[in-house]
Each structure stands twice: as structure tokens, then as C-alpha cells.
A = this chain, B = another copy of it.
Amino acid sequence: MPESGQPEENSKLRIVVVGGVAGGASAAARARRCNAQAEITILEKGPVVSFANCGLPYHIGGEIVERSKLLVATPELFWDRFRVRVRTGHEVTTINRSAKTVSGVTSAGEEFKVPYDRLILATGSEPIRPAFCDVSADNVFPLWTLDDMDRILGTMKKHPCKRATVIGGGYVGLEVVEQLKHRGIDVTLIERLEQVLTPLDPEMAKLIELEMRQAGVKVMLGAEVESLLTGRNRVVTAVKLTDNQTVPTDLVIVSVGVRPRTALAQAAGLEIGASGGVKINAYCQTSDPGIFAAGDIVEYHHGMLDRPLRVPLAGPANRSGRIAGASAAVGASKPLASVQGTSVVRVFGLSAGGTGLNSRMAREAQIDFRSAIVQAPHHASYFPGAKNLTLKILYRPDNGQLLGAQAVGGEGVDKRLDVAATVLHFSGTVHDLAGLDLAYAPPFGSAKDPIHMAAFVAENDIARLPELVGYDAELEGLQVVDVRSAGELEKLPLLGAIHIPVDELSERWSELDSSLPTVTVCHSGKRAHIAACLLRGHGFEQVRNLNGGMSIRRLKE
């Protein structure tokens, strides 16, 4: 597809968009901007278009007070402003590619058929409903649509809800946990895996788990739901786990992931990729040149894995929608950039997120990687309000290429993720990270930002100046030198270590055996690095320092 800003001379092109939420709404609005003459129609299965899916948990918790705020655009606005005709309650069930029509049935039960010249599919995704899920129960819900939200709020209004159970510890699950707690409800989170937030490595996710526990949430990990126990009137009263534990509850929110609504595309014979999403080129064109697709149903090119991957997030959905709209309207667009799967969530007083590869993804892709973890205040430590930020970066040991970043902290998490995502966009290295000229003033960061600090640690690790040892490494049999202060040791002991405070090490290093494999340890890794450098200079050939220090090691299972 040529890159060109010039519209085709196709004055009455009929563009039909199936699905009117994030990707579809973006596509329609962009198509109109690029082509003033086209007839543009959105067919939306549900009762509304373009609602703020990501805001739903916050209205449940009352943080977003007015429901109307969630309605981003109305059919009237689409018509008045864009001359885009919106037909809600129109579920498309068939695409006839040779006749170039879509047909289906309305919520009122009427059949319809609409012709198109260009079709844009943006059917989105739907929540996965596990086998145990009783669809007929009155108090068990997913949270994916406005309707889901309304039903949850309706139920909570009808029956006093003292105890709620959230099944699934992903992004949406944690937002719901936070918001239900915000309403004063006792919340239990049930997660099948041994950690919440799988986009993060276990130790990073642990920080969020601890934050939830501190907020009074009951977090159950490695907990598999067997069934929902139903009392009278189709109301679930408890969640039963496979280990026979039961969790009494007044409300169950099931949030175990989403799957792409590709049935329509699939039935039409459009190519589906290996990841299960609709295959598109960089211009959001499917295997049928007249059909475009955007949002959760497609697979994007993942920049770090260099292969297609589904990423059901709002950012890529909106950006791909915009490109699908331009491509469909004028046959021209800038290409869609690779995604890094960047995501972030707020959970009580902390925020957490990641971009690019985490350790599991890198291992699965058989990419050789190392990682550096730093703990640092989010802005100048001497400026009031500095909050702790934990930043982990993954990189290739051979060329220093950045592979991914994860961050957890009270402030500034999103900023560091965005910087890392931008470096990933350019396939940059930890040396690039180390040299970035970031905005510094005491209320915003540090002259050496946590981003720089993480990069410095990675550079040292790569150059073996000295090398890092994993935060969860077996230390048994190593000469472990704990360089923290006596007060720190008392609060968080490290058994079996030799204690020499960093500021005494220049005097006392000879107390250690330079022939032994040695690991230096402090709270965050900073002083341990200084100590390791010092010991190395004194002939300790096999000295390494503990990645992230005790602040991370304490999170080891």
C-alpha cells in the first residue's frame, strides 16, 4: 500500500465498520477525516458505541461518580460531527465476501443486510467464561461492558454486599479489587497461578501482592476454583476451591482474561494467524484486500518477539483503528508500528506495569538475557514526597539490547515505562538508556534518574564490573558479605553472611578470603556494588553483587 496523503477519487465509497467501541470508533472517525464523501456506517451489536471500557471498574468503586462520563461518543455525535451512521443493536453474523455484504440480526430480532466497498472489522474481545461459571447466577459477573457494570451495581444495590470475590489477578481483576475495597467491601482475590500480574516477573508482582494484603485484601494464590456454591434464588454464596476450601461471598467478579471475537472473520475465511488473531499487514489490511481489521481481534507485530501477538489493550486498539480507517478510506496510511505490550495499573498506593519482554517471555522465546533491578526514590531524595520506585530491566548480555522493563512504585512508574517503551521502539540498548537526557528538577526526578541507575547497573553487569548474581540465587557455600548497617541487619537479617558495613570495608577487607566465590549484599544493591568493586580491586577474582539487594531478596518465595 503506497504511503500517500492523497485520497482516491472514490466519491461515494461505502465503508462499513463492524464494532463501534475503541478500534471501530477510531476507524470511523479517521475514515471520515480522510474521505469526506464516503458513506460510513458503524454496525454495533451492543446498545452503545465508543464507551470507556477502561473506566468501568472506577465507576463501580465510585471514583468516577457519573456514569455518563463513560459514554465517550453517542450515535448523534457520530452523525452530526462525522456523518457516520451508527446502528446499535446490529449484530453482524455473516460476511459475504463475493457479494460484498454483511448481514445479521438486530436486537429486536430483525434481519438486515448492508453492502460495502470496504469493510472494517473491530469486533473486539469478550471475557473468557470458565467452566465453573454459572451464567444463570444472579451475583456472578464478568466486567467488560457497560451492561456488566450496570448489572453489578444493580445487584449491589439490591443485596447488601459485604464480601466480594474477584477471580483472576490480571490488570482488570486488580482494578476491581481496589475499587470494591474502596467501597468498604471485604475482598478476596483468587488467582490460579502463584503470582498476580503475570506481565511482571514474580518478585515485582510480589510487591503488588503485599500492597493488596496491606490494604486488607485476602489474596489466595495457586488457588483453583472448582465450583460456585449456589444458595436459594440463584445466588452464589461461596466459591469452592479444588483443595476444598470455601470462600463465602456475596458477589463474584470473574476476570480471567479475554478472547478475540474472531468467529465472524473466521467464518468469512479471512486468514487467522498463529496467535489466534486476525492476520493483518502494516496497513491493517486482512487477507481480503477489501477488508480491514483493528483492535483486540487482530494480532500485532510484537517488536521484541519479532512475531505476531495478540495484545488486547486500548492503546494499540485505538492506533490500529485509526490506521484501518485511513487505509479503508483512501488506500493510504502510515504503517502501524510494532507493539511492546506496554501496560500499567494502579493498585491502592502503588502502580505497576511492564513493557517488552518479561523473564518468562524471554525464556520461552529462547532469548539469552540478563536483568538488573534497582530501587530508587522517584525524584530527588532530598525533596519532600519521594516515593520508592523498583525498576527492573532485561537486556541481552552480548550487545546490551534492551528487551523489557518493569516498574512498581508510588509515583513515576508510567514515566519510566514510557521511556523504556520508547527505547524498545527504536531497538535501543542499555547504553542508550544510560545516556538519555531526561527532564530533571527536584520535584520530577534525579540527575541520575532510576532509568539511568538501572542502565548503569546493567552496563556494569555486562562488563563484569562486577557481575550481578540473581536476587533469588542460592547463597549457600558462597562467601556472602553483608555491607549494610547494623540497624538494617536487625530489621531484615541475612543468615550466614559476614557483616562488614560498606564504610568499614576499606579497612577490613582483609578479614575476608579473596580466593572464595563472594557475593556482596546491601539493601538495594548500590552499596554492594561499591563493595564488590573494592573487593575486586583487592584481588577477589570471583566477586559478584546481589541484584536488587535485600529489598528484592525479601520477596523471594
Interface residues of A (CB under 8 A from B): 5, 22, 26, 32-37, 52, 54-55, 58, 63-65, 69-70, 72, 77, 80-83, 171, 175, 303, 313-319, 322, 334, 336-346, 351, 353, 355, 380, 382-384, 413-415, 417-419, 421-426, 428, 431-432, 434-445, 447-449, 452, 456, 459, 463-465, 502-504, 506, 527, 529-530, 533-534, 536-538
Contact = CB atoms under 8 A, between A and B. Distances in A.
Query: A36, A58, A82, A456 — which one has the most chain B CB atoms within 10 A of its CB?
Result: A36
Contacts of A337: 431-432, 434-437
Contacts of A465: 5, 33-34
Nearest to A423: B422
Nearest to A52: B382
Given A32-B533, A315-B447, A447-B314, A437 B339 contact: yes
Contact of A315 (B63, B353, B437): B437
Contacts of A434: 319, 334, 337
Contacts of A440: 54, 313-315, 342-344
26 contacts: A5-B463, A5-B464, A26-B448, A32-B530, A34-B533, A36-B534, A36-B536, A58-B383, A63-B384, A64-B383, A69-B382, A81-B503, A171-B441, A175-B441, A315-B447, A318-B447, A341-B437, A342-B440, A343-B440, A346-B443, A353-B441, A413-B439, A414-B444, A422-B422, A425-B432, A425-B437
A537 B35 contact: yes
A125 to B, nearest CB: 15
Contacts of A52: 380, 382, 442
A502 B81 contact: yes
A64 B384 contact: yes
Contacts of A81: 502-503, 506, 527, 530
A37 B419 CA distance: 37
B355 A439 contact: yes
Contact of A22 (B33, B55, B435, B447): B447
Given A418-B419, A435-B319, A344 B380 contact: no
B529 A33 contact: yes
A150 B14 CA distance: 73
Contacts of A382: 52, 55, 64, 69-70, 72
A421 B447 contact: no
Contact of A383 (B55, B435, B442): B55
A261 to B, nearest CB: 19
Contacts of A415: 414-415, 418
Given A81-B503, A384-B64, A441-B54, A319 B452 contact: yes
A33 B70 contact: no
Contacts of A536: 36
A82 B506 CA distance: 8
A263 to B, nearest CB: 25
B32 A504 contact: no
A181 to B, nearest CB: 16
Given A344-B440, A425-B437, 18 more contacts: A32-B534, A35-B537, A36-B533, A54-B440, A58-B383, A58-B442, A65-B384, A80-B506, A319-B435, A337-B436, A340-B437, A342-B437, A343-B441, A346-B441, A415-B418, A419-B419, A419-B422, A425-B435
Contacts of A82: 530
A438 B452 contact: no
A80 to B, nearest CB: 4
Interface centre among A351, A465, A527 (most CB of B within 10 A): A465
A434 B335 CA distance: 10
A438 B421 contact: yes
Contacts of A506: 80-81, 83
A354 to B, nearest CB: 9
A211 to B, nearest CB: 15
Contacts of A504: 80
A70 B464 CA distance: 33
A416 to B, nearest CB: 9
B414 A445 contact: yes
A421 B26 CA distance: 28
Contacts of A449: 315
Contact of A353 (B63, B317, B439): B439
Contacts of A344: 439-441, 444
Given A317-B447, A319-B435, A384-B64, A537 B37 contact: yes
B343 A439 contact: yes
A373 to B, nearest CB: 19
Contacts of A443: 346, 351
A452 B30 CA distance: 14
A72 B262 CA distance: 58
Contacts of A64: 382-384
